[in-house]
């Protein structure tokens, strides 16, 4: 597992490469799943929360031409949207369940 807070190449797409440091382990795990097509990282935003809160994941499904999960990752005063694109819609529930186990 890498300790850097940037990810690019492989399944990672888009122009944003920086991730919330505490989310690195989770995103590295997701990157290894064979049913994940790509991972798109969003901007890291600052919130008004206190710095000591625990890591939280809020997954939401999206469907249409692509299937996957929009995950809001928050830790302390930082928030980041990550989009996980899946090979097929039948794996949505399974991926949601695996994400719950990671936290």
What are the residue ranges spanned by the domains of the chain?
12-102
Coil, helix or strand for 52?
Answer: coil
Instruction: Mark 21-32 as b/e (b = at least 16 C-beta within 10 Å).
Output: eebbebbeebee
If one counts every other C-beta atom within 10 angstroms of the C-beta of residue 41, the result is 24
Full-model pTM: 0.85
* Tokens 């097509």 found at: 37
Q: CA 37, 77, 60 angle in degrees (round to 5)?
A: 35
pLDDT at 68: 93
pLDDT at 42: 92
Per-residue pLDDT for the chain (103 aa), expressed as one digit of tens each? 445 688 888 898 888 889 998 888 899 999 999 999 999 999 999 887 666 778 889 999 988 788 899 999 998 888 999 999 998 888 888 888 888 887 7
Q: Tokens for 97, please give them.
A: 């369940």
If one counts every other C-beta atom within 10 angstroms of the C-beta of residue 3, the result is 7
């Amino acid at each position: 597992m890498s300790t850097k807070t940037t990810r690019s190449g492989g399944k990672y797409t888009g122009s944003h490469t920086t991730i919330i440091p505490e989310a690195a382990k989770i995103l590295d795990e997701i990157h290894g799943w064979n049913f994940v097509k790509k991972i798109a990282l969003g901007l890291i935003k600052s919130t008004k929360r206190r710095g000591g809160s625990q890591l939280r994941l809020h997954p939401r499904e999206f469907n249409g031409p692509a299937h996957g999960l929009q995950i809001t990752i928050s830790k302390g005063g930082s928030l980041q949207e990550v989009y996980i694109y899946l090979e097929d819609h039948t794996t949505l529930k399974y991926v949601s369940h695996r994400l719950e186990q990671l936290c």
